[in-house]
């Protein structure tokens, strides 16, 4: 693409690949400048596949030569707003393979000319053929490479995790499930801290929450499947200081509180969305390694190789682990859902788990404010998605709402995990951020800032 920019004397060129699953065009934008390592600088941008000039070309399969971008009705200004680039003119053409359009290339701002010429159009058409072949081979290679990485990751996971024993499953199946108030009279109150419950007892408590919310009866969840699923999920968590099973349990408990006390199911969410939200809370940090998305990218981990092109590396891995557990023999708690319910439930779980990435929360803050201002519309699917995203973020941050003794202890666990990552980054020759650096972090100040700028606004 850099060569195409030079041949046509354009300021910038972009290669959009069609993501059919998300109905988006994913652009690698080459801005004409060099990165520090001498390579062409790139920025990833995602836009809806049915919007803008690129969307029209992807849909129609026809080349467009636009002399005045801002005067054109199809011009998608948000791209310029996102990148800070000012577009004057555009030459946009489709890239195809045997199955049809697989991408779109866009050349912007003809240098020393008012617009792109007929010669540029012919050059673009010829170039698109070679580009299509290259992309096809690149995608094939990525599939092979991803399969290799998944195989390596699977072996790693098998080395670390063991399947739960049939004796453990049988014992949990036969365990008495007492009323939740037997664990504490305050169990269903927002002031209650679930971390006081002993680790072994948490399994029975989770089953009790499933039953008390009516999920086991409404969705015909077999007791043995639920028992094995809960055991597998607990086993699927590693033991970093904070992002472990007790964190997942606390998040699921807060989800229980929301569903139980706020009467969300009916006026705001469907029963299936309630189930998806609760299960997603249990699974949202599966196989967390105590390091964040930034670390995965910096360290060039296997997870980054698998998921970096899609973003939210760890969250995509957490969902993949949840799917692996559900697909394990005897663990599919959704086995009695209809085909459509099953598909919807997994889609909802994926979106909810991805929403636990705070980067996702920052992207939708303005949409959340708009939804609050306009009022929640039950018939608007977008509002359902925004609401579940907001709810899971509240659940994920719920430790910050507990009493001083508990929240102080949680802060210690969080920063122990952060500092461990910072130590790893220093060993790699990478400068950690302030909150990851045990020599620079001032925890009270960092926590107050976190609560004031993120926690308090989302709960408000």
> Would you list the DSSP string of 260-325?
HHS--BTTTB-HHHHHHHHHHHHHTTTT--S--HHHHHHTT-HHHHHHTTTS-HHHHHHHHHHHHH
> Order of strands across the sheet with 100-110?
40-48, 24-34, 10-19, 100-110, 90-97, 64-66
Distance, in Å, from the CA atom of 203 to the CA atom of 200, rounded to the nearest integer, reads 6
Supply φ then ψ for residue 43, to 5 degrees: -135, 130
Identify the CA nearest to 161 among candidates 330, 324, 350: 324
Q: Spot the catalytic one: 56, 243, 253, 361.
A: 243
Q: In this structure, are residues 28 and 15 in contact, taking their beta carbons and an 8 Å threshold?
A: yes
> Residue 47 carries which DSSP code?
E
Geometric angle at alpha carbon 212, from 210 and 217, rounded to 5°: 70
> Residue 113 carries which DSSP code?
S
Distance, in Å, from the CA atom of 159 to the CA atom of 428, rounded to the nearest integer, reads 25
Please compute, for residue 85, the number of CA atoms within 13 A of its CA located in the half-sphere on the CB side: 23
Q: Please report, in range form, the residues annotated as the binding site for AMP.
A: 243-247, 285, 396, 447
Distance, in Å, from the CA atom of 28 to the CA atom of 44, rounded to the nearest integer, reads 5
| Residue 317 appears among annotated catalytic residues | no
230 Cβ neighbours under 8 A, 6+ residues apart: 172, 203, 206, 207, 282
Distance, in Å, from the CA atom of 43 to the CA atom of 32, rounded to the nearest integer, reads 11
> Residue 94 carries which DSSP code?
E
- Tell me the catalytic residues: 243
């Amino acid at each position: 693409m850099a060569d195409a920019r030079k041949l046509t004397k354009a300021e910038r060129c972009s290669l959009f690949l069609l993501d059919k699953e998300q109905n988006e065009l994913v652009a690698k934008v080459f801005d004409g400048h060099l990165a520090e390592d001498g390579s062409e600088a790139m920025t990833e941008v995602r836009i809806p596949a049915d919007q803008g000039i690129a969307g029209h070309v992807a849909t129609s399969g026809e080349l467009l030569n636009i002399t005045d971008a801002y005067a054109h009705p199809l011009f998608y200004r948000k791209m310029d707003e996102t990148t800070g680039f000012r577009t004057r003119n555009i030459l946009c053409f489709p890239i195809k393979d045997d199955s049809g359009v697989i991408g779109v290339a866009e050349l912007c701002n003809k240098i020393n000319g008012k617009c792109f010429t007929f010669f540029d159009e012919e050059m673009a058409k010829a170039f698109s053929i070679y580009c299509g072949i290259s992309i096809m081979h690149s995608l094939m290679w990525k599939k092979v490479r991803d399969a290799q990485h998944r195989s390596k990751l699977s072996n790693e996971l098998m080395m670390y995790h063991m399947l739960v024993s049939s004796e453990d499953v049988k014992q949990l199946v036969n365990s008495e499930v007492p009323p939740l108030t037997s664990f504490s009279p305050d169990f269903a109150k927002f002031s209650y801290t679930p971390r006081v419950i002993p680790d072994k007892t948490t399994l029975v408590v989770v089953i009790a929450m499933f039953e008390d919310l009516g999920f086991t009866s409404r969705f015909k969840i077999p007791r043995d499947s639920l028992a094995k699923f809960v055991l597998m999920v607990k086993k699927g968590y590693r033991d970093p200081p904070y992002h472990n099973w007790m964190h997942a349990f606390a998040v699921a408990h807060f989800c229980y509180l929301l569903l139980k006390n706020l009467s969300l199911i009916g006026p705001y969410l469907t029963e299936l969305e309630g189930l998806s939200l609760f299960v997603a809370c249990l699974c949202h940090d599966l196989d967390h390694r105590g390091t964040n998305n930034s670390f995965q990218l910096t360290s060039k981990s296997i997870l980054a190789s698998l998921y970096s092109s899609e973003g939210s590396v760890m969250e995509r891995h957490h969902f993949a682990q949840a799917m692996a557990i559900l697909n394990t023999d005897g663990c599919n708690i959704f086995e009695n859902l209809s085909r459509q319910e099953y598909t919807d439930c997994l889609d909802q779980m994926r979106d909810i788990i991805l929403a636990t990435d705070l980067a996702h929360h920052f992207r939708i803050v303005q949409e959340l404010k708009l939804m609050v201002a306009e009022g929640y519309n039950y018939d608007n699917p977008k509002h359902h998605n925004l609401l579940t995203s907001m709810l899971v973020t509240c659940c994920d941050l719920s430790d910050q709402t507990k009493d001083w003794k508990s929240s102080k202890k949680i802060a210690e666990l969080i920063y122990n995990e952060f500092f461990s990552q910072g130590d790893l980054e220093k060993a790699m020759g990478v400068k950690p951020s302030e909150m990851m650096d045990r020599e620079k972090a001032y925890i009270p100040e960092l926590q107050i800032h976190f609560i004031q700028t993120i926690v308090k606004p989302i709960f408000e």
